[in-house]
A and B are shown apart, each in its own frame.
Chain A
Amino acid sequence: MNVQSPPEKLTARDYATDQEVRWCPGCGDYAILKAVQNTLAELQADPKNTVFVSGIGCAARFPYYMETYGFHTIHGRSPAVATGVKLSNPDLDVWVVGGDGDMLSIGGNHTMHAIRRNVDVQLLLFNNQIYGLTKGQYSPTSKIGTKSPSTPLGSIDNPVSAAQFALGVGGTFIARSTDIMQKHLSGVLKRAHGHRGTSFVEIFQNCIVYNDGVFKRFTEKSVQAEMQIHVEHGQPLLFGKDKDKGLILNKDEMRLEAVTLGENGITEADIAVHDETNRSLATMLAQMDPPTMPVALGVLYCEAAPTYEASVHAQIDHARKDGEGDLAKLLHRGQTWTVE
């Protein structure tokens, strides 16, 4: 009798290629790469069924570093390429990786349509609020006033909020994390992986060269506890070092308000409870920005919905329920005549 040796357990290292990683020393992308490799190891994801698709930009080099299948495509179009991959083979586990320029500027259209169609991919947006690969121009997520080679007097156009955008176009899974929070990020990635449909994950990522510290108002150790709220479905929206702060819903003004327990008679019973199936609540959470409010991290929104490729294939299966088409018959369909 053959004794099957137990399948070898894959480690994070098994998901790394032999290619030299070429991001700048200290780039947040290293930490995200590590978190993704750790997550795949935790999930024991099958490398042969895993595909990383990317567009152009620093983040888009990601597939070269993953020992899976990978396709580094063209600027902004990775969600469209990934849609084709999933339509063609729905069994593949597809991750799409890109930056804020790639996915929200040149590729904003494709990001929108992949999300609204609910194509079953994990869409990881590395948001560093700057163009890195092209050397430091402002991006569609840069704050007004961002000084860059193309905006020496400061940028003047309104930035887009990635999470609000994804919610607005009907996303079924919207989450946030940061590059330096390995455990939190890995937890979010696992949720994203488990969700059927487009899992949109905005990862705040530090560009050490062109935009260093742009998120320090909520990522720096000294302010983390007060300026971040980690949302969890069914749990009260509490934050602060001693979990003494929270969010209440001001129903008169239809907005969230940050409050301190014990002040003005506020008790934990007054604190809003996170419901990740509530799109309005998710939108209000996505709008919060330090210093007046903490930034919301974790799964802001998640709902079950049919995936695009499953619906496409369901139509095809239905059309074939009485058997496969016959080409010779199709050629003869309609009016024909015989010449003797």
Chain B
Amino acid sequence: MSEVAAIDRPDENRQEIESAVVRFAGDSGDGMQLTGSQFTMTAAISGNDLATFPDFPAEIRAPAGTTFGVSAFQINFGARKIMTSGDQLDVLVVMNPAALITNLEDVKPGGIVIADSGAFTDRNLAKAGYEENPLDNDSLEGYRLVKIDMSRLTVEAVKEFGLSNKEALRSKNMWALGLIYWMYGRKREASVDWLKSKFAKNPEIADANIAALNAGHAFGETAEMPAELGTFEVETADISPGVYRTITGAESVSLGLLAGSQLAGLNISFCSYPITPASALLHHLARMKDFGVITFQAEDEIAAAAAALGASYAGSLGITSSSGPGIALKMEAIGLAIGTELPMVIVNSQRAGPSTGLPTKTEQSDLYQAVFGRNADAPMPVISVSTPSDGYDVAIEAIRIATKYMTPVMVLTDGYITNASEPWLIPDPSTYDRFDVTFRTDPENFQPFMRDDTTLARPWVKPGTPEMMHRIGGIERSYDTGHISYDPANHQKMTDVRAAKVNGIANDIPEQEVAVGAAGGKLAVVGWGSTYGPINRAVANLRDEGLDVSQIHLRYIWPLPRNLGELLHSYDQVLVAEMNTGQLRTLLRSEYLVPAEGLNKVNGKPFLIAELEDAIRARLEN
């Protein structure tokens, strides 16, 4: 790495900090996601723990320079366990005025704002809605503002490669990355290697980007750098040994579905229809053809669910995936899966609603839909994903339950988890317990709806099996034979057994544990899904201060863990924090008659640790 060796030298005067939150924000065309993911990789290699969150615009090609075209990538990295992508920004890097106006409010008081002054032209200022240049007046007084004409400096740095001005400016994200690498004393090797391999076919583009990266770094290194910026050192975190990668929620769920299907000994038929933010699952699984994974982009959400069910009927594992509005369309088919008692997995990547709502913003408001949102009494297991890497185990568990109990299972994840990433200690697939499916092939005394005594599951028979031809369907089925039955007593019996089967799963899942703290006490903060990180950090922080608060975080939403009622009653207060208007709270109140209160928000953004801490304090100080 001769390109970088010359100017990597130790800096004695770095300020040691435990963690830092940095956000890169710019126009969609400024390459902010790439910049962020490079910084992430380097932080990981440096031994930090971290969490990231990309925030990209809903529009495909928003006009350049507009506020709705701003793309951002945030990373929280530290020398301790990192639970969220961070409440407030220590450093905001903005590549244009629109990025400044849309991101400034998240910077902590006194935080560093680094702006590409070269992009603060009259035209860009007008597009962002600024009447005068905020870099030139006192509007940013509360921050440590660093104005650098990164555009000009980048063009100069890459002059020797003979690129057009427009092409040259494409490297300015690497210039900014180089500067931030210098700020945190990071090595550039990994990014240099990555640029070389990414642009292997265009070495002059690779060279220009590397030159920009080095120039940004050198700019910080030399006296040109404003003193107020400062340099920092973030030590390595105490992390379990092993091989790691970063993983997003979409990746972990996709890989978990594949792993689960292998443990069950089944092929996957993944049937889906594109929708934000769920499409990433379809994209990931479509690339797993070498595992025999069938993906089917159906004509609509209903067809996707129906085809998945048809695939399960034929003996493979039918999976469908969508987000809230699409899930609503699938519900009749899910009801058929419940009635005909066929396994199926439905992944719901929740987003803010109702209707189209805010497709790119996160929310947890499909709990009612998942647990209750079907016609008639139609019980279905529901489990949830808590962190970007948790999707792997949750998807495996969904397949285990679906195939063991012959039932559809809904997995609830959300837009935040789907796109966010964290480091993941890569598991060894061979250490997982198998749960191979046994198809019924014995025609002796066979009836399609005879049940296993323990699980109450009916047998799964593949069409093509000799001497076992039978018919199933949506009309109520006779208790054993599955023939059409309009008998009222039979309907009662079938309704009861469907409920008993799903309720019985509570005996086959772990008892609810306390994530942080102890059973019993003054206050339990209960959460589910992607609120795990901020609740965990907030509760841990306040316990360090001596407050009597514990965290209970649910994976299993339906049926609920068998000890949960008793556990909740062991606290004086129960606070349910969720990104909806109180859906889990309603469920807990109705199931256990606990006086649970809610801490709720639906502004499209995850909980901040600070707002959770404030809410917990308020309840314990009364």
Flag if A74 contacts B44 (CB, 8 Å): no
Among A148-156, A203-211, A313-321, the stretch that binds chain B is A313-321
Kindly state the separation between the CA atoms of A338 and B243 in the bound complex, as whole angstroms: 4
Of all chain A residues, the one with the shortest Cβ separation from B339 is A74
Beta-carbon contact of B244 and A72 below 8 Å? no
Instruction: Pick from B148-156, B353-361, B467-475, B546-554 the stretch touching chain A.
Output: B467-475
Which chain B residues in 50-105 approach chain A with CB under 8 Å? none
- Give the docked Cα–Cα distance between A82 and B303 (Å): 10
Q: Quick check: A88 and B299 within 8 Å, CB to CB?
A: no
Query: Measured between alpha carbons, how far is A328 from B47 in the docked complex, in Å?
Result: 23
Cβ A89 vs Cβ B464 within 8 A? yes
Q: Of A68, A110, A318, which is in contact with the most chain B CB atoms at under 10 Å from its CB?
A: A110
Question: In chain B, what residue has the closest Cβ to A19?
Answer: B483
Q: Does B420 contact A (CB under 8 A)?
A: no
Check A331–B314 contact: CB distance below 8 A. Answer: no
**Alpha-carbon separation in the docked complex, A325 to B269 (Å):** 16
A57 within 8 A of B: no
Q: A77-B302, A325-B288 known; A338 and B310 CB under 8 Å?
A: no
Q: Is there contact, CB below 8 Å, between B470 and A69? A: yes
Instruction: Indicate if the CB atoms of A325 and B310 lie closer than 8 Å.
Output: no
Residues of B within 8 A of A325 (CB): 288, 290-292
Chain A nearest CB: distance from B234 CB in Å? 16
* Nearest chain A residue, comparing its CB with the CB of B313: A71
The verdict on A64 contacting B303 (CB below 8 Å), with A81-B310, A331-B255 known, is no
Q: Is the pair B294, A81 in contact by a Cβ cutoff of 8 Å?
A: no
Q: Which residues on A sit within 8 Å (CB–CB) of B472?
A: 70-72
Give the contact stretch, choosing among B114-122, B421-429, B498-506, B590-598.
B421-429
Residues of the B chain whose Cβ atoms lie less than 8 Å from the Cβ of A339 = 47, 239-242, 244
Residue of A nearest to B290 (CB): A325
When C-beta atoms are compared, the residue in chain B nearest to A116 turns out to be B299
Q: A80 at the A/B interface (Cβ < 8 Å)?
A: yes
Query: With a CB–CB cut-off of 8 A, which chain B residues contact A112?
Result: 299
SS of B interface (majority): mixed
Contacts of B296 in A (CB 8 A): 83-84, 87, 312
Taking a contact as CB atoms under 8 Å apart, the answer to whether A327 and B292 are in contact is no
- The reply to whether A71 and B44 contact each other, CB–CB distance below 8 Å, is no
Contacts of A69 in B (CB 8 A): 463-464, 469-471
Chain A residue at minimum C-beta to C-beta distance from B238: A339
B471 touches A73 (CB 8 A): no
**A84 x B307 contact (CB < 8 A):** yes
A54 shortest CB reach to chain B, Å: 8
Tell me the complex Cα distance, A336–B245, Å. 5
What residues on A are CB-neighbors of B303 within 8 Å?
A: 77, 80, 83, 109-110, 113
Complex alpha-carbon distance, A83 and B340, angstroms:
18
| A304 interface residue (CB < 8 Å to B) | no
A325 → chain B, closest Cβ, in Å? 4
Specify the chain A residue showing the minimal Cβ separation from B288. Answer: A325
Contact bitstring A83-100, B, C-beta under 8 A = 1, else 0: 111111101100000000
| B606 interfacial by beta-carbon distance below 8 Å | no
Decide: B469 and A47 in contact? CB cutoff 8 A: yes
Query: Which chain B residue has the least Cβ–Cβ distance from A52?
Result: B471
**Taking A72-B471, A74-B332 as contacts, is the C-beta distance between A81 and B306 under 8 angstroms?**
yes
* CB–CB A335/B245 < 8 A: yes
B271 at the interface (CB under 8 A from A): yes
Contacts of B269 in A (CB 8 A): 84, 87-88
**A53-B310, A63-B473, A71-B313 known; A87+B294 contact, CB < 8 A:** yes
Do B310 and A71 touch across chains, with their CB atoms under 8 A apart?
yes
A166 touches B (CB below 8 Å): no
A46 to chain B: closest CB distance in Å?
9
CB of B346 closer than 8 Å to a CB of A: no
Q: Which B residues are CB-close (under 8 A) to A66?
A: 471
Q: Tell me whether B9 is interfacial, beta carbon within 8 Å.
A: no
With an 8 A cutoff between CB atoms, is B419 at the interface? no
Please tell me if the beta carbons of B311 and A88 are within 8 angstroms of each other in the complex. yes
Q: Is the CB of B243 within 8 A of A327?
A: no
A74 to B374: give the CA distance in the assembly, Å.
14
Give the Cβ gap from B296 to chain A, nearest Cβ, in Å: 6
| B466 interface residue (CB < 8 Å to A) | yes
Report yes or no: A89 in contact with B259, Cβ–Cβ below 8 A. Answer: no
| B333 & A319 in contact (Cβ 8 Å cutoff) | no
A327/B291 contact (C-beta < 8 A), A80-B306, A88-B315, A89-B464 known: yes
Judge if B608 is at the interface, Cβ distance under 8 Å: no
Check A332–B426 contact: CB distance below 8 A.
Answer: yes
Residue of A nearest to B236 (CB): A339
Shortest Cβ gap from B247 to chain A (Å): 9
Of all chain B residues, the one with the shortest Cβ separation from A48 is B466
Q: How far is the CA of A109 from the CA of B300 in the complex (A)?
A: 9
Contact call A72/B290, Cβ cutoff below 8 A: no
Residues A327 and B314 in contact, CB atoms below 8 Å apart: no
Asked whether A275 is an interface residue with its Cβ less than 8 Å from the other chain, the reply is: no
Taken residue by residue from 325 to 356, chain B's Cβ proximity to chain A (1 for < 8 Å, 0 otherwise) reads as 00000001101100010000000000000000
**B378 at the A interface (CB under 8 A):** no
**Cβ-defined partner of A320 (8 Å) among B292, B309, B426, B474:** B292
CA distance A100 to B606 in the complex (A): 49
When the two chains form their complex, are residues A337 and B310 in contact, meaning their CB atoms are under 8 A apart? Answer: no
Please report the C-alpha to C-alpha distance between residue A82 and residue B311 in the assembled complex, in whole angstroms. 8
Which of A47, A87, A113, A330 neighbours the largest number of chain B CB atoms within 10 Å of its CB?
A: A87
A281 to B418, CA, bound (A): 52
B242 in contact with A80 (CB, 8 Å): no
A72 to B241 Cα, complex, angstroms: 53
Please tell me if the beta carbons of A337 and B44 are within 8 angstroms of each other in the complex: yes
A-contact bits for B445-472, CB 8 A (1 contact / 0 none) = 0000000000000000011111111111
CB A326 to nearest CB in B, in angstroms, measures 9
Smallest beta-carbon distance A41→chain B, Å: 15
Residues of B with C-beta under 8 A to A323: 290
Any chain B CB within 8 A of the CB of A17? yes
Q: Which of A68, A70, A327, A331 has the most CB of B within 10 A?
A: A331
Residues 471-495 of B at the A interface (beta carbon under 8 Å): 471-475, 483-484
For residue B318, which residues in chain A have a CB less than 8 angstroms away from its CB?
Answer: 84, 88
Asked if A340 is at the interface of the complex by the 8 Å CB criterion, the answer is yes
A27–B572 CA distance with the chains assembled, in angstroms: 68
**Residues of the B chain whose Cβ atoms lie less than 8 Å from the Cβ of A91:** 464
Q: With A72-B475, A334-B245, A339-B239 as known contacts, state yes or no: A92 contacts B469, CB within 8 Å.
A: no
Do residues B259 and A319 form an inter-chain contact, with CB atoms below 8 A?
Answer: no
Cβ of A324 within 8 Å of any chain B Cβ, yes or no, is yes
* B298: Cβ under 8 A from any A Cβ: yes
Contact between chains at B310 and A82 (CB < 8 Å): yes
Q: Which residues of A contact B336 (CB under 8 A)?
A: 73-74
Task: Judge whether B429 and A327 touch: CB under 8 Å.
Answer: yes
Beyond the given A51-B463, A69-B471, A73-B309, please list 4 additional residue pairs across the A-B interface where CB-CB is below 8 A.
A67-B469, A312-B296, A331-B426, A338-B243
5 residue pairs from A and B, CB less than 8 Å apart? A17-B471, A80-B299, A84-B296, A88-B269, A331-B429
Binding site for B on A (CB under 8 A): 17, 19, 47-49, 51, 53, 56, 63-64, 66-74, 77, 80-89, 91-92, 109-110, 112-113, 312, 315-316, 318-320, 322-325, 327-328, 330-332, 334-340
- 8 closest A-B pairs (Cβ-Cβ)? A84-B310, A72-B473, A84-B307, A319-B289, A70-B471, A80-B303, A80-B306, A88-B314
